[in-house]
Chain A
């Protein structure tokens, strides 16, 4: 167990709806990264939050947005859901700023868009 938690575990939405996924980071970690993993693929980097600021972003459209709170927990929001958004969404926490920064994953949220 990594100490990283995510909610909900599963979610079913319809196209066009909006969804919010939540992540609590491991104690002592100040950085949360979000990934999308489609079936049979490796995780794709969405963005990272460090001390409540977006620290970097992957190749995802603006309808993917996020927040990090003072306790370092984080939310991922996806607007105008599309069928291709169906995937496993992973958050990973780490202690940012070290050369050997290591990310530990939560259990993930499986999203199905119909």
Chain B
């Protein structure tokens, strides 16, 4: 079983819509969770992190964490063509970040 699993893509959404990305993790000891955005040929860029149950909002992005269900999600509101990228979910236990394989999002103009 992979430590972090993400819903398989690609995900195509029209401009202005909400993109919803999901992630599950296997290690109940995971302490914090991260969403990174990676454009093609570039390195991952941190969007936001969350470590408490509930929602965390930052601009057009909302992360949700449910530790009982071992589930993390990311909502992108008012999606823009510049949001087209691969989104990586990661969990941290101690020193180690474990990443999912990523979900590729395409925003159609």
Mark A residues whose CB is within 8 Å of B: 2, 33, 35, 40-45, 48, 50, 55-56, 58, 88, 90, 92, 96, 99-108
Contact = CB atoms under 8 A, between A and B. Distances in A.
Contact of A40 (B96, B97, B101): B101
Interface residues of B, number: 24
Interface of B: 4, 31-32, 34, 36, 42-46, 49, 51, 88, 90, 92, 94-102
Contact of A43 (B31, B88, B92): B88
Q: Is chain B's interface secondary structure helix, strand, loop, or mixed overall?
A: strand
A73 to B, nearest CB: 17
B106 to A, nearest CB: 16
B101 A100 contact: no
Contact of A108 (B43, B88, B92): B43
